[in-house]
Amino acid sequence: MWQPDGWDVRVRLGILTPDADVGPESELRAMAPPEVGLHAARVPFAATGGGGATGGGGATGAAIPLGPVRAFAEPPHVDAAAQLLAAAPVAVIAYAFTSSAYVIGARGEAHMLARLGERAHGLPVVATCAAVVEALRVLGVERIGLVDPPWFDTTLNDLGRGYYEEAGFEVPYAAPCGLPVEQRAVRPKTLHDWVAARLPDAADAVVIGGNGFRSVGVIEALEATLGRPVLTANQVLLWAALRAAGAPTEGVTGYGRLFGGPGA
């Protein structure tokens, strides 16, 4: 008689996302079981491109600039958003932005998470790159291939390589993806084929960076093609957020080995 109305969820996750980017919410909602509620707060990002793309997407074809990326992780905007989001009945806050961790490094990312946790009245706060590191360790991966969005230039991609090398991983391959810079032009098949053609045998897994990069739809197919784990930004963010909230992860199906691996 009564239709589902979205109120009877078991856990609610808060998401911090750049103001014009619909990628994190779109992919997280696609993966999350019905009993998981998602609630986003939008954070101003000075490098938002035309057409809703982040980091130089849209029609400009420009690479994401490092200054606004660093500023996104600093007060006051993201702190204010975290404080407001914490007023809702969410169990955890997930920071859906990859590139700032590349720029500020793991230590800067840890300081940011601690600061946001204080502003969020003690709620756990998880972030994409820290979640990737945790996921790689759970899966027993030592060597990764890093594929970043087309709007990441080689400088930002090199910073990403450095982030993971500092965390103790070998990175035998790292490159921005050679697909169109326009965010909405990325299609699962072309991403699958591009990555599959380039990931070297030396990599134990592939990490696809960028929360605004359409990628979760290729995880299962790419794992079947490569025979290796595939981690993407929003996939690991959901995994880490559910774990931080004390919620089960096994209800997430079709999105990679991570949700069925040891410690999941």
Q: What angle do CA 78, 153, 65 make, to 5 degrees?
A: 40
CB atoms within 10 A of CB 78: 25
- pLDDT of 261 reads 53
| Of 182, 212, 174, 164, residue with least CA distance to 24 | 212
Q: Are strands 36-43 and 92-95 parallel, antiparallel or unpaired?
A: unpaired
Please give the average per-residue pLDDT across 67-79, as a whole number: 97
Q: Reply yes or no on whether the pLDDT at 46 is more than 70.
A: yes
With the C-alpha atoms ordered 82, 88, 93, 96, is the resulting torsion angle positive or negative?
negative
Task: Tell me the residue ranges of DSSP E strands in the chain.
Answer: 11-18, 36-43, 92-95, 125-127, 143-148, 170-176, 205-208, 230-232
Contacts of 105 (CB under 8 A, 6+ apart): 162, 163, 166
Mean pLDDT of 128-145: 98
Burial 46-63 (b: 16+ CB within 10 A, else e): ebbbeebbbbbbbeeeeb
- Rg of the chain over Cα atoms, rounded to whole angstroms, equals 17
SS3 of 102, please?
helix
CA atoms within 13 A on the CB side of 5: 4
Position 105 scores a pLDDT of 98
Specify the pLDDT at position 201: 97
In this prediction, residue 175 carries a pLDDT of: 98
Mean pLDDT across the chain: 93
In the structure encoding, which two tokens stand for residue 84, read together? 């407001």
> Which residue segments constitute the domains of the chain, with CATH numbers given?
11-131+234-260 (3.40.50), 135-233 (3.40.50.1860)
3-state DSSP assignment of residue 184: helix
